[in-house]
Structure 1
């Protein structure tokens, strides 16, 4: 790595920022210096390389073929440095950042976090509720809780719980449901882009989606569950979504059968970073919370 001693770090930072942001002005704002200072740093770096890194155009900067090759490595290197410094800062502050789907966070996780805080008062939890698949190798996220098949590349993925689905509705509506065929005569609550369809539950009962009628459509599962609580129809829910509402008597499951969707909940962390104490503590707590709520038949209870 002695080759690094031949280059000024400020010049390399200016190159990376200018390439990523597309202009000297934007790079100057990010680095907190003048446009002239960034321009001088870029020129000095190009002199050290012995090749132009950018072509100058009225609309901004465009990397030369040589620049594209160099900047690819600079971008990756500075991203690694940023991730490492962020991780070190969070560990010093005792902050654990957890990326999780909003519906899992609002319907299950936040109601149980106080127990984690009581067991680990020195660890501060920051919940990043987002449906986007964050890469823990390059972001400031320590842990991702994700639903899928666990086939994500370049991460550690530990299965937490298989997802089982079943119809849920208000107690009043459940009085009309004695057999799965009766679902043809009640409103069905739907998401526009669900992770799975009703056939996951209907097919083992010898039925398919064609028997289902219309009903309200809501943009996410949390709203669908609230609509079911309000008596607006039957929703195909799952355990971490519905178990607390069932325990409080706000919802009921009119049929006993629960079927696997083929996807699971996973505890996802960086493959390259060592597992910090806070990450291990959160994983152990989460697994314990889930395991204490799982019956012998594999279903989850509060």
Structure 2
């Protein structure tokens, strides 16, 4: 529409402030400009509209046209003010995208997040889920947590926590099985399978010359494996750090004292050397080390009791 003309935002703000506060001087104080500047901005709006908006005097009085126009101006400014991009505070927020496997997110990261957000109120976290087995990480993440095989220095990143694995089962399963007193008794128990937690490291630690289990469902997620164990479907090779809540309330029971280092560890991948990404990675590593340590102490206390 070639004949459509708009006043400046500064002019509209000056008009609304002067109408609300009653004088150019008060409007100028609120807008951090001079009273002369407020007057000039309002005059520019009046010239554009072709009609006066105020009756000048010791206190400004809106003309009938001014009253009608003020309704539209306030609605327009309200819509603009509602856009978060226009708020100065929003521009100071640093957004940080974190990519993490689902089980780690649910059982490690999310319960710990209040501590990070309280310490870093200017960082807005966005947590996205990755799929470890398919190696599908969250796109363009600032910090990535992945389950990786091998030495941290060789594959990149930093190990987050010194995890161990050991067999765990639900009491409902144990009540249906012959007593599991020694590791060899697992030959009579259904073993849950997942490529993310192979049994080979634990079999070796227990002195069992066994191959990987080849029967039963193959679950491609550590959380699903724990859920299957909770449902009494089989014995899971699990990490105390992920299962600590269920170990504490007795819905999962550790079967033997034998522990092993898992084939895969949680790594935090390379991130920026400074800023929110580095602060988050350092905080996450400290939190994970504490969680793993507390989980092992919980196991030790359980055995001692």
Q: TM-score normalized by structure 1?
A: 0.57
Counterpart of 1:190 in structure 2 is 193
Checking the alignment, whether the CA contact within 8 Å between 1:168 and 1:252 is kept in structure 2 is: yes
Checking the alignment, whether the CA contact within 8 Å between 1:150 and 1:159 is kept in structure 2 is: yes
Q: Distance in 1 between matches of 2:282 and 2:297?
A: 18
Checking the alignment, whether the CA contact within 8 Å between 1:145 and 1:266 is kept in structure 2 is: yes
Checking the alignment, whether the CA contact within 8 Å between 1:168 and 1:235 is kept in structure 2 is: yes
Q: Which SS does the other structure have where 1:178 is aligned?
A: coil
Q: Which SS does the other structure have where 1:233 is aligned?
A: coil
Match status 1:168 vs 2:171? no
Counterpart of 1:128 in structure 2 is 128
Counterpart of 1:94 in structure 2 is 94
How much does 1:259 deviate? 0.6
Over the aligned positions, Cα root-mean-square deviation in angstroms equals 3.1
Match status 1:178 vs 2:176? no
Q: Distance in 2 between matches of 1:100 and 1:301?
A: 26
Q: Distance in 2 between matches of 1:143 and 1:213?
A: 36
Q: Which SS does the other structure have where 1:236 is aligned?
A: strand
Q: Distance in 2 between matches of 1:181 and 1:108?
A: 32
Checking the alignment, whether the CA contact within 8 Å between 2:94 and 2:124 is kept in structure 1 is: yes
Counterpart of 1:81 in structure 2 is none
Larger Rg: 2
Q: Which SS does the other structure have where 1:145 is aligned?
A: strand
Checking the alignment, whether the CA contact within 8 Å between 2:168 and 2:229 is kept in structure 1 is: yes
How much does 1:183 deviate? 0.8
Counterpart of 2:241 in structure 1 is 240
Q: Distance in 2 between matches of 1:140 and 1:219?
A: 24
Checking the alignment, whether the CA contact within 8 Å between 1:184 and 1:213 is kept in structure 2 is: no
Q: Which SS does the other structure have where 1:260 is aligned?
A: coil
Q: Which SS does the other structure have where 2:160 is aligned?
A: strand
Checking the alignment, whether the CA contact within 8 Å between 1:216 and 1:232 is kept in structure 2 is: no
Q: Which SS does the other structure have where 1:188 is aligned?
A: coil
Deviation string, structure 1 residues 148-170 (Cα, Å, up to 9, x no partner): 232567x6x22322332111111
Q: Distance in 1 between matches of 2:291 and 2:117?
A: 19
Q: Where do 1:59-98 residues align within 5 Å?
A: 92-98=92-98
Q: Which SS does the other structure have where 1:261 is aligned?
A: coil
How much does 1:228 deviate? 0.4
Counterpart of 1:275 in structure 2 is 274
Match status 1:284 vs 2:286? no
Checking the alignment, whether the CA contact within 8 Å between 1:190 and 1:224 is kept in structure 2 is: yes
How much does 1:188 deviate? 1.4
Deviation string, structure 1 residues 51-70 (Cα, Å, up to 9, x no partner): xxxxxxxxxxxxxxxxxxxx
Give the aligned length: 202
Q: Distance in 2 between matches of 1:123 and 1:242?
A: 29
- Structure 2's unaligned 5+ residue stretches are 1-89, 300-305
How much does 1:187 deviate? 1.5
Gap change, CA 1:152 and 1:212, over 3 Å in 2: closer
Q: Distance in 1 between matches of 2:140 and 2:215?
A: 43
Gap change, CA 1:160 and 1:217, over 3 Å in 2: closer
Checking the alignment, whether the CA contact within 8 Å between 1:165 and 1:236 is kept in structure 2 is: yes
- Structure 1's unaligned 5+ residue stretches are 1-89
Gap change, CA 1:301 and 1:100, over 3 Å in 2: farther
Q: Distance in 2 between matches of 1:96 and 1:108?
A: 18
Counterpart of 2:141 in structure 1 is 141
Q: Which structure shows the higher strand fraction?
A: 1
How much does 1:103 deviate? 2.0
